[in-house]
Structure 1
Amino acid sequence: MPNPTSRQPAASLPAVDAAHGLRGIRAMSWSPTAAWVAVFVAVALLVWFGTLGLRHLIGPDEGRYAEISREMFASGDWITIRYNDLKYFEKPPFHMWATALAYTLFGIGEWQARLCVALAGLAGIGISMLATWRWFGARAAAFTGLALLAAPMWSVAAHFNTLDMTLAGVMACVLGCMLVAQHPDATVSARRGWMLACWAAMGVAVLTKGLVGVALPGLVLVVYTVATRDWGLWRRLHVAAGAALLLAVAVPYFWMVSARNPEFLNFFFIHEHWQRYTSNIHSRSGPIVYFVPIVLAGFLPWLGLFPRLWKAMRTPAEGAATFRPALMAGIWAIAIFVFFSLSRSKLPGYIVPVFPALGILAGVALDRMDVRAWSRQLSAMAIVTACGLLASPVVATLNVNHTPNSFYRAYAIWAAAAFLVMLAGVAIARWLLRRGVLPSVAVYALGMYLGFMLALTGHETVGRPASGADIAPQILQKLTPGMPLYGVRMLDHTLPFYLRHPLVMVGEADELTFGATVEPARAVPDIASFARLWKNGTPAMAVMSPETFLELSPTLPMYVVARDWRRIVVTNVAGPTPVLAAR
């Protein structure tokens, strides 16, 4: 294993002094290895950012947070978060701030809505590599980056507009800064700087998804110190200065939003934290093993490494006196996994913060793997990908989530292509084994990454019809800026973004019930009230399910403007060529 304290000194690098800098730079030539590394990074980044806009937004999360950010950008109010013009206090604002800033810089669009998560995912890879390099050397750091790049729960999640990925990227910075700060070669000032960065990242995590930004790192530290008896670690955390910095980052927003909205504190801290964790208030329960298949599938290319991850976690790094970075990473993954497994509220994205720690452990494990052991891993994954290719026609038989089977039939082709790319990556990786483990792992990881990104891109065949993007142009032919657009018993999470027009909730407000309760004038309480507004002569439009349309159309004038398999949009004013709903 490389000794982290015996890395190549700066003096041994190519000398480029002030007098001969330009000439020295021109004289430098890249080695073939450096050129291949540059090509690899360029391809990875091109795919990482180039695919952000290839898919339409899907609900609920992508459309929700894209629209909240759009309303924030349009209104200029970055304190009181609103969704469909109703107060929405379920989450803090950092992710929406970043997205609204992307809109400000680059305009409103799909790739701009996903830019925050893409940057968060990339930051998570970078800081995890830095921490691994500091403790275990450059080769292990390269393996860590490859492990995260090829892990679908990380690379795919970094292309979905959700708060979970932004939180995971920030939490990776918390872990990475902590590990770098505790290196025995760190100077006092360097340790203080990295620990302050760690505390600042925790403040950003609180602004991203609430108290978990402090609770999870705190839980990990407690478990780690109890397991290692390293009580001196707490003296190296710069708790006083760090806590002050954390509060300086997080408190101003909570103070300002509470001053403007007195109802915020109770809803956010009691309802959205305590009640969500301890009860099934949002109907998101799951068994204790809920996250087991998610972690296994999310780290699929490296499943064979799991026994080695345990071994790596228990092995101290060279040069470490008392602090054990791999053990810290392992406890990070285990403690967060257990925390969310015990929760009464479960969603797949909750578990994403464990993957940077798994990536660090994978980097350490791969750094110690010989050619024979890696060959066995390739053989196992060749079987897995071949089985996936043979099973891809099963996708064409699906008919789930109320999605027509025809969309899955189209997606089956993409799934087969994705497994073909992965299988090709495994084959090339095996051929490259004669050049060593690192080149083979690099090509293997790239093949897995490209395969998963191809499968993600192909999901547009299923996602686009559900997004509302295709019917938005038809609606915009009749929808004017001041016209009410009612969501009748339906909270459509994507259509408002594509229309640049919020919904007025009618009847069931879904997750906007709180906003409709505190601001009842901004919503319509029931169908009877909606009927009176619909028939008062003011031009209006409404979106509803086909079932609701069949229920209401016999008694209300409804002219169909647009429709697809999951929604019907109607107006109460006949146009030049109206399509009158059948009585």
Structure 2
Amino acid sequence: MPHRSDRLAAEPGLIATRAAPRVDGMPALAPALVVLAFALLWFGTLGMRHLLGPDEGRYAEIAREMLSRGDWVTIRYDGLKYFEKPPFHMWMTAVSYALFGIGDWQARLCVALSGAVGTAVSMLAAARWFGARAGLMAGLVLAGAPMWNIAAHFNTLDMTLSGAMACALASLLLAQHPATTPAVRRRWMLACWAAMGVAVLTKGLVGVALPGLVLVLYTAVTRDLALWRRLHAPAGIALMLLVAMPWYWLVARRNPEFLRFFFIHEHWHRYTSTVHARTGAPWYFVPLLVGGFLPWLGLLPGMVHAVTRRAGVAPAAGPDTPFQPALMAAVWALAIFGFFSLSGSKLPGYIVPVFPALGILGGVALAHAQEHAWTRQVRAMLALGAIGLLASPVVATLDANNTPNALYRHYAIWAALACALVMASAAAALWLLRRHGRMASVTGYAFGMLLAFSTALLGHEAIGRSASGIDLVAPVGRVLRPGMPLYGVGMLDHTLPFYLRHPLTMVAQADELAFGAAQEPQKWLPTIDAFLDAWRHGPRAVALLSPQAYAELSARVPMHVIARDWRRVAVSNFAFAGELATRRLVSAPPATPAATPLATL
């Protein structure tokens, strides 16, 4: 009887029949395993670090108060009216709390889902125009881009807006494909308009102004005025208004002061002036763009080539100018980048909406890249990882932003580990390229970049844990009771009130709650003297102060220390059980950073 291997060699068709099915050089099961691995890393790390101020704590607490009060129209922060942003992000977070409880990962679920949805629709649009391979590559580029994956794990409005904007871009691209039937085109365009409505409900007029700017610039370059007839504007505008306008109407009806503050102060003044003290040079976003797209910068020539060679363009069936998807993606990225570069107010997250367009173009470039070009990209990242590893001890020398050097020394270990993972990922990508081909190489490289930058973010818990105040929650919670005033003396603590499930009453300095304090002045104490009077003669209360403020005020009124860390001291105006033990624990306080003297408040 012939040996099995001899029989298989003699019957090559049997090999093809019995061999495991393969997709692009990989087993057919591999895509499902890849998606599972990315999903576990993407969502599984949401609760592995505590919230950071100001943004993460602010939006987590607003959503908590929204759910607690049952008022989904008038946004409040620490009990005061807060009209800087619309409510969609906070609505979704409050729903997350209602479904899964209140906590860190629940507060970040909205942004993680927004990033995942933005990645999925970008893949769909890229696959429709440039082929399935380009679609897969686009998803890998986005998942491995540090600006995108970090923003998807940081509780701010920027990623929620970017997810909605990615849906608008992808829906527009899908609607304009020449093979799309009129009925399907209408549905995708209505989806585009609905996504813009969600964007307006997330961060205001930029949700419609930015896509409008992109459309105007695109038609100015291509002279494709026929595109405007394919937008289904009457029905689309009606749908967008149906999504966005009910809340604006309700909040303005209940709060007449809303319209002027929101549209004049928060839109016009924010963009045209430095009223929010968030200034930056016109090139402010350049290093952020470079760093945020660092693992894929080698694709830039291929991305430019995709635009200039009109990738994906098919001859128009009629007299209309053919739609250019690569050019639309490029205009999207450049217009949004330019818009915010000219703004008088700048924050890093403002340019996150450009990344879905970059991901689509990067996917096209990767799908057509030569092997030697990909090899150069991976080797360059290997070298950058090595440089970062050698430079990581510098982190241990930092002592900035009022953060003790000891915390930076702990974080330096995580920074070194992240750089080592970058090197390991690049090395694995080279090995996979030789053994299994480019798709496996790009997949391993993208997963490795996501793992490396997730590690860098998770390691920030070395600094963020104490900054969040989580270690004060247990001792303060044993003293603080529902309904008891919790004063923030000269400081707006963005995270500890969330963990305590107890809003602050501001004292002496309203900070970003100045608008709400002006509308409801009875809900805060505008002077230190008013606070001292309430502290002496009012009900039992707890206060949060900077160490310097505690040193000044404890000489004037009795203060019982509950707990303290390097940035805050929690005190009560009454004696409490276990106070003597607490005093022993805090008798040797850590070195404290400089703080604003109370005399200036």
TM-score by length of 2: 0.91
> What percentage of residue pairs aligned between the two structures are identical?
62
1:172 maps to which residue? 166
| 1:466 has 2:462 as partner | no
The Cα shift of 1:315 comes to 2.4
The Cα shift of 1:151 comes to 0.2
Task: Please point out which of 268, 292, 299 is paired with 1:298.
Answer: 292
**Superposed CA offset, 1:534-556 (max 9, x none):** 10052111001111111211111
The Cα shift of 1:358 comes to 0.4
2:499 maps to which residue? 498
Which structure 2 residue ranges, 5 or more long, are not aligned? 1-17, 317-321, 588-601
**Superposed CA offset, 1:164-204 (max 9, x none):** 11001110001000000000000000000000000000000
Task: Please point out which of 268, 276, 280 is paired with 2:262.
Answer: 268
Contact 1:421–1:451 (CA under 8 A) maintained in structure 2: yes
1:186 maps to which residue? 180
1:339 maps to which residue? 339
1:544 maps to which residue? 545
What SS class does the counterpart of residue 471 from structure 1 fall into?
helix
Indicate the larger mover: 405-414 or 284-293. Answer: 405-414
Aligned mates of 2:287, 2:27 — CA distance in 1: 37
**Superposed CA offset, 1:457-488 (max 9, x none):** 11111111100111111100100001100001
**Superposed CA offset, 1:59-108 (max 9, x none):** 00000000000000100000000000000000000000000000011111
**Superposed CA offset, 1:235-260 (max 9, x none):** 00001100010111111000000111
Aligned mates of 1:304, 1:576 — CA distance in 2: 63
The Cα shift of 1:576 comes to 3.5
Contact 1:370–1:437 (CA under 8 A) maintained in structure 2: no
Contact 1:315–1:326 (CA under 8 A) maintained in structure 2: no
What SS class does the counterpart of residue 535 from structure 1 fall into?
helix
Aligned mates of 1:459, 1:113 — CA distance in 2: 18
The Cα shift of 1:312 comes to 1.5
Alignment of 1:384-403 (within 5 A): 384-403=384-403
Which structure 1 residue ranges, 5 or more long, are not aligned? 1-26
Aligned mates of 2:457, 2:576 — CA distance in 1: 40
The Cα shift of 1:29 comes to 7.3
1:281 maps to which residue? 275
Indicate the larger mover: 159-168 or 320-329. Answer: 320-329
Aligned mates of 1:397, 1:149 — CA distance in 2: 32
1:233 maps to which residue? 227
Alignment of 1:428-467 (within 5 A): 428-434=428-434, 435-467=436-468
The Cα shift of 1:420 comes to 1.4
Alignment of 1:341-490 (within 5 A): 341-434=341-434, 435-490=436-491
Contact 1:120–1:165 (CA under 8 A) maintained in structure 2: yes
Q: How many residues align?
A: 556
1:203 maps to which residue? 197
The Cα shift of 1:318 comes to 4.2
Task: Please point out which of 92, 95, 114 is paired with 2:89.
Answer: 95
1:575 maps to which residue? 576
TM-score by length of 1: 0.94
Aligned mates of 2:562, 2:305 — CA distance in 1: 62
Aligned mates of 2:570, 2:350 — CA distance in 1: 34
2:598 maps to which residue? none
2:4 maps to which residue? none
| 1:51 has 2:45 as partner | yes
Aligned mates of 2:577, 2:132 — CA distance in 1: 69
1:3 maps to which residue? none
| 1:156 has 2:150 as partner | yes
**Superposed CA offset, 1:420-455 (max 9, x none):** 122111111111223322221111111111111111
Aligned mates of 1:569, 1:30 — CA distance in 2: 63
Aligned mates of 2:315, 2:170 — CA distance in 1: 16
Contact 2:472–2:564 (CA under 8 A) maintained in structure 1: yes
Aligned mates of 1:320, 1:174 — CA distance in 2: 24
Q: What amino acid sits opposite 1:466 in the alignment?
A: A
Aligned mates of 2:370, 2:266 — CA distance in 1: 48
Distance of aligned partners of 1:483 and 1:426 in 2 relative to their CA distance in 1, 3 Å threshold: same
Distance of aligned partners of 1:189 and 1:390 in 2 relative to their CA distance in 1, 3 Å threshold: same
Q: What is the Cα-based RMSD across aligned positions, in Å?
A: 1.5
Q: What amino acid sits opposite 1:546 in the alignment?
A: P
2:139 maps to which residue? 145
1:109 maps to which residue? 103
What SS class does the counterpart of residue 505 from structure 1 fall into?
strand
Q: What amino acid sits opposite 1:543 in the alignment?
A: L
1:512 maps to which residue? 513
Q: What amino acid sits opposite 2:357 in the alignment?
A: A
Q: What amino acid sits opposite 2:383 in the alignment?
A: I
Aligned mates of 2:530, 2:346 — CA distance in 1: 36
Q: What amino acid sits opposite 1:175 in the alignment?
A: L
Q: What amino acid sits opposite 1:485 in the alignment?
A: L
Aligned mates of 1:34, 1:397 — CA distance in 2: 49
